[in-house]
Structure 1
Amino acid sequence: MTLRTTYLAASVAIFSGLLVLGWVTHGTGIVKDDPERNIVIPDELTSELQVKAAYDGEKIWFRYRWPVDRPSIFNDVLVYQDGKWETRGGEALGPNPDFLTEDRVAMMIDDGSVPLFGRYGGYITIGDGLTTFTGVPETEEERTKYLPSTRTDPNDFEALKPESDLEMLRAAGQFIDLWQWRSSRSNPIGLGDDGFVAEERGGDAGTGPYTTNWDSATEQPLYMFDPDVAGSAALSIDAVTGGDVGFNDIYYLSADTALPFDPTLAWKNGDTIPRRYLRPATGSRGDVVEPSVARWRNGFWDVTLVRDMDTGNPLDDKIFRDGGSYDLAFAVFRNASTMRWHYVTLPVSLGLEQPAQMVAERIESGTEPDWTQPWTEIKTFYPGQVTWGRLTDARQHPGADRIAQRVPVAVRHTEEQLALYGVQMEFAEEIRRQWIWTLIASLGLIVGLGINVNLLMRRNEEEV
């Protein structure tokens, strides 16, 4: 075998090896769950939400409908095990396998006072270093959403402006009204929850519809089920996680269903008590209520919330007025997922007798909506770990110049594109490394092909 033949065989082998390597590794090993980095990708990147609105000049109603294969009506619970009460459920990375994370719907509302919200929606509230983002250390206090205007450096969670500045921003309307409905922590007693997003995501003044059912001094619950009402002092964890406890059962603790906890009862392994005790909300936080208890039917949650148009709390709530225009953005928590593993929407305009994407129906004062108007269909999507700082940085986001020009996100992107972009940002480093390896392999293939062609041509010339 001549030296040239050896070179030819070697180059063919290298070329073939690089071709096989590129084929085998193309598109593999990148997008996969990585709980150690707080990465869990939903099976579905998009979903649907239907919304209607109605008002009578004094009250305003919103009705929401979204698909859920199995409703999750429990959140965190206390389970008796070998003489101790253990907490299960609540916050989890991605879907909770035991369905111990409640379903939720949330709605952000602005009246035009918050810059850019009507163009970019909830994206403007996602700063760097928020809880559950990859690489963010765990802290006792949750690092929540916030508005960029509340920071001296919009991309620094710790750069909070002085209290006097925050008060002026609030007085100028630079806060987002936040309504929430929770299947476990508010729905059973017919309540929503009223909050805000400004320097943080928090609850309005007053008390919310739930409190913690735990006595840290005795390390046991404060309340248990009233056996005369619920049939027993506790539920079974197997029945709870198996979906055998439903709406027609007593599955929540409140003044009507609970008694003070009795440690002398013969508690057995698997006995389960909710970790939350439900109560009437007070103050501004109790402004949002349900006209009736929401239900899951035929694969869909159907929820209606109502509030006074003018609550008398303009520093906590956005006031609705006849002829007004508003910007909304929604979040849906489904499949027993919470925190950032939700589905969000682009901003949606709302008009009260004004043209908009969604127009609220005017009804006669003192009556209830008949809901005969058509639904507004809204696409929801998984947002991933996309921060406002990344979106506005030209080094990280090619479209940053369009944001600087105030081009609305809906003009340039669909929800499907945004969901894929969110996933890409979760694996940005891995994708970059894969691209480099692909580039190296491609260059090797080009070089190998060139060598082969050159050797073959020279061999043919010698044979001639």
Structure 2
Amino acid sequence: MKKTFFILVLVLTVGSLTLYNASIAAAKASKGDLVLISKKVKSAPADAGSSQWNKAKEAKIIAVGAGNVEGNIIPLKTKSVYTKDEIFFLFQWYDYNKSMDKNEWKFKGGKWNKTKANEDRLGVVWEINRVDKFANKGCTVLCHNESKNDKEWYYSTSSSREKADLWHWKAVRSNPVGYTEDGFVIDNPSKEPEAGRKRDAGSKTTKAKNNRTKDKSGPAYMQDPSKPATIPGSLLVAQAVEIKGSSTFKEGDEIPAYMLYPVWKDSFADIKTKGIWKDGQWTVMMSRKLKTGHDDDVQFNTRKKYPFGIAIFDNSGDHDSYNSEPLKLQFK
């Protein structure tokens, strides 16, 4: 039985890798699409397999690596549809390794150790107020790298009149509870790395919480043993209990580094998301109201065109990302 299972896993792995390599080869031979058409549909798609997506035109986008992945590429397939009140996006890209262990705690040698793993992510950036040169240069105008030390790079628009909408999907910290983090970028005269990047209203009480002791030597909370985990692999705040000593843990035990809130609030919760990793590929569906009424969001008018940019992070963060050319959204 074990031998049969091993052979099955090997076949599936080789098959996924073959598809991935073929996709990369095709992408290198193409410049990719720069326009995404959002098609009007009568009703909202329930998931990535809904029939509404058959009416949408697929855009094939090439994301080019930067930082430690410079020179590599990731081909991304995307579609968009909209109804009277909402807009929907479908993103698909090959990712051979599902990265879901960001800073995870592991019990080893009688103590807790934090892994150096990260998570898979997807970022989408729009203009709220016009951002100078964004339509022609894309997301690069928001990330400033005046220092040789990339830890000192900072996010900022060019003036106080400019404002960008930042959607940040995270495989560990947002996807399990069905959201994409909603934030924005503003002018950052201080040049502090994160001072120009803000989260929308509601984030202070609903974004993922660090699960660690005051001295950061281990996790502070664990899954309540009297309650089955609602989301396997994730720790919800309401199902967490404080850890009392380490005598109950055995070698190899793992505890998530973040505690999640299952329901988000206010503008931070605008972007509902369903992300699934299967057969070496992420499929992520995002939905949002065309007009949220919040001043920290782009407001979509179906008679207009919107420049945007996409970034993919493969078990990484900061500047080790795969970035698209400047893109444009049109409605039909």
The TM-score normalised by the length of structure 2 is 0.69
Output the amino acid matched with 1:188: P
Q: Measured at CA, do residues 298 and 224 of structure 1 come closer, stay the same or move farther in structure 2, by a change above 3 Å?
A: same
d(CA) in 2 for partners of 1:43 and 1:341?
Answer: 8
Output the amino acid matched with 1:62: F
More moved, 77-86 vs 182-191: 77-86
Give yes or no for contact 1:329–1:345 (8 Å, CA) kept in 2: yes
d(CA) in 2 for partners of 1:226 and 1:265?
Answer: 16
Which residue number corresponds to residue 346 of structure 1? 325
Output the amino acid matched with 1:332: I
113, 119, 126: which is aligned to 2:136? 119
Residue 254, structure 1, aligned to residue 236, structure 2: yes
Q: Measured at CA, do residues 218 and 62 of structure 1 come closer, stay the same or move farther in structure 2, by a change above 3 Å?
A: closer
Residue 177, structure 1, aligned to residue 194, structure 2: no
275, 287, 290: which is aligned to 1:294? 275
Summarize the alignment of residues 298-447 of structure 1 with structure 2, pairs less than 5 Å apart. Answer: 298-314=279-295, 316-334=296-314, 336-353=315-332
Greater radius of gyration (CA)? 1
Residue 55, structure 1, aligned to residue 82, structure 2: yes
Which runs of 5 or more structure 1 residues have no equivalent in the other structure? Answer: 1-38, 90-99, 150-165, 232-247, 354-464
Q: Measured at CA, do residues 308 and 261 of structure 1 come closer, stay the same or move farther in structure 2, by a change above 3 Å?
A: farther
Residue 144, structure 1, aligned to residue 134, structure 2: no
Using the TM superposition, give the Cα deviation of residue 339 of structure 1 relative to its aligned residue in structure 2, in angstroms. Answer: 1.6
Give yes or no for contact 1:191–1:209 (8 Å, CA) kept in 2: no
Q: CA offsets, 1:301-343, max 9 Å, x none? A: 00011111211212x1011123121111000112x22221110
Q: Measured at CA, do residues 218 and 42 of structure 1 come closer, stay the same or move farther in structure 2, by a change above 3 Å?
A: closer
94, 98, 101: which is aligned to 1:74? 101
d(CA) in 1 for partners of 2:132 and 2:320?
Answer: 26
More helix by share: 1
Using the TM superposition, give the Cα deviation of residue 253 of structure 1 relative to its aligned residue in structure 2, in angstroms. Answer: 0.4
Give yes or no for contact 1:57–1:322 (8 Å, CA) kept in 2: no
Which residue number corresponds to residue 360 of structure 1? none
More strand by share: 2
What count of residue pairs does the alignment treat as equivalent? 256
3-state secondary structure, aligned to 1:148: coil
Q: CA offsets, 1:351-396, max 9 Å, x none? A: 123xxxxxxxxxxxxxxxxxxxxxxxxxxxxxxxxxxxxxxxxxxx
Output the amino acid matched with 1:106: G
Cα RMSD after superposing both structures: 2.6
Q: CA offsets, 1:244-286, max 9 Å, x none? A: xxxx982110146533333365223432211100113222212
265, 268, 271: which is aligned to 1:282? 265
| Percent of pairs with identical residues | 27
Which runs of 5 or more structure 2 residues have no equivalent in the other structure? Answer: 1-65, 188-195
d(CA) in 2 for partners of 1:49 and 1:188?
Answer: 22
Using the TM superposition, give the Cα deviation of residue 347 of structure 1 relative to its aligned residue in structure 2, in angstroms. Answer: 1.2
3-state secondary structure, aligned to 2:235: coil
196, 200, 205: which is aligned to 1:204? 200
d(CA) in 2 for partners of 1:45 and 1:143?
Answer: 22
Give yes or no for contact 1:223–1:261 (8 Å, CA) kept in 2: yes
Which residue number corresponds to residue 5 of structure 2? none
Summarize the alignment of residues 237-248 of structure 1 with structure 2, pairs less than 5 Å apart. Answer: none
Give yes or no for contact 2:223–2:235 (8 Å, CA) kept in 1: yes
Output the amino acid matched with 2:292: T
Give yes or no for contact 1:178–1:196 (8 Å, CA) kept in 2: yes
